[in-house]
């Protein structure tokens, strides 16, 4: 029996990067996978095909996780299409890096809206489904910089730290109904988000990683499998770092 057999998962921002790796890992473990991204394109289309090639259902939805109404409607649509939602991965996220002295108000507001408010939107909408069925796993994508901070990323770090407080609070609110809520804090993972970093920044990050390499999206997906599956049935309100032991 596969680890996620018969489960229905919903993952936000999964066209690329870590979300895409989680979608494929869940499908390989037997879950039907609904996923979103801001728009439907070649990436979302190819992901549906790759999911279905693994013998499960896949469907892509264009939905902006930072929009309250769209998130609410999305949950209704996924429940209509898949019957229920057992696993929600709040993965969608962006960066707008700058030192505080150069950071525009719009860059602060946008990062908080996309990275943090989205998690409120999606969790609030999915809780009615999970409370009713008295089970569910919610996984929020934080970051090591949400724990340690990072110069030039005050907006991003604040959003990812806020998400940890949210995760721990929701674990306490929903635990008595067997709904678990945990966070993953990835370190330096090779995706489009980290492609923008200069060679110098990249080297300085890797120097601080005991495993001496950047992470792969699949490294994060493996922990996302654990947190979604019954292997973690007694784990809630936790943050698991996936960072090669990075000292921040
Ligand atoms: P990525 O940029 O490769 O992928 C993010 C996806 O989210 C994109 O497909 C994008 O279109 C989508 N997206 C953006 N805004 C959205 C919205 N409002 N609604 C729906 N979808 C939206 O990034 P990634 O590296 O795969 O990051 C995934 C998550 O992991 C993010 O939350 C990120 O902050 C977090 N993270 C990444 C790293 C890393 O090193 N890559 C480290 C720590 C945390």
pLDDT, one tens digit per residue, over 178-198 is: 999 999 999 999 999 888 888
What pLDDT, on the 0 to 100 scale, is given for residue 74? 98
Q: How many residues comprise the chain?
A: 248
Handedness of CA 164, 170, 172, 175 (dihedral sign): negative
Least confident of 67-76, 149-158, 165-174, 205-214: 205-214
Q: Is the CB of 196 under 6 A from ligand 1?
A: no
Q: Is the CB of 188 under 6 A from ligand 1?
A: yes
Q: Is the CB of 243 under 6 A from ligand 1?
A: no
What pLDDT, on the 0 to 100 scale, is given for residue 137? 99
Q: Could you tell me the distance, in angstroms and rounded to a whole number, from the CA of residue 98 to the centre of ligand 1?
A: 18
pLDDT, one tens digit per residue, over 202-241 is: 898 899 999 999 999 999 999 999 999 999 999 999 999 9
- pLDDT at residue 247 greater than cutoff 90: no
- Is 142:119 a contact under the CB 8 Å cutoff? no
What pLDDT, on the 0 to 100 scale, is given for residue 220? 98
- Is 87:10 a contact under the CB 8 Å cutoff? yes
What pLDDT, on the 0 to 100 scale, is given for residue 196? 83
Listed in order, strand segments (DSSP E) in 73-149 are: 87-90, 136-141
Q: Which two three-digit tokens encode residue 162? A: 């806020």
Take atom 41 of ligand 1 and give the residue whose Cα is closest. Answer: 189
Is 156 assigned a catalytic role?
yes
Tell me the fold of 8-241: Rossmann fold (3.40.50)
């Amino acid at each position: 029996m596969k680890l996620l057999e018969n489960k229905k998962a919903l993952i936000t921002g999964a066209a690329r990067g870590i979300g895409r790796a989680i979608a494929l890992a869940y499908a390989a473990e037997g879950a039907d996978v609904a996923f979103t991204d801001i728009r439907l394109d070649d990436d979302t289309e190819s992901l549906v095909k790759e999911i279905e090639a693994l013998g499960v259902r896949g469907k892509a939805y264009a939905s902006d996780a930072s929009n309250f109404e769209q998130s609410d409607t999305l949950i209704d649509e996924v429940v209509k299409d898949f019957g229920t939602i057992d696993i929600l991965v709040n993965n969608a996220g962006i960066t707008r890096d700058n030192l505080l002295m150069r950071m525009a108000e719009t860059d602060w507001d946008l990062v908080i809206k996309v990275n943090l408010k989205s998690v409120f939107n999606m969790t609030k909408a999915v809780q009615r489904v999970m409370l009713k069925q008295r089970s569910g796993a919610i996984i929020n994508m934080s970051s090591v910089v949400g724990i340690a901070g990072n110069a030039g990323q005050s907006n991003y770090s604040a959003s990812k730290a806020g998400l940890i407080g949210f995760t721990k609070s929701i674990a306490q609110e929903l635990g008595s109904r067997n709904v678990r809520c945990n966070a993953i804090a990835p370190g330096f993972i090779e995706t489009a988000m980290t492609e923008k970093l200069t060679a110098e920044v990249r080297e300085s990050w890797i120097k601080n990683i005991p495993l001496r390499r950047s992470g792969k999206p699949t490294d994060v997906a493996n922990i996302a499998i654990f947190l979604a599956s019954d292997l973690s049935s007694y784990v809630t309100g936790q943050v698991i770092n996936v960072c090669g032991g990075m000292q921040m």
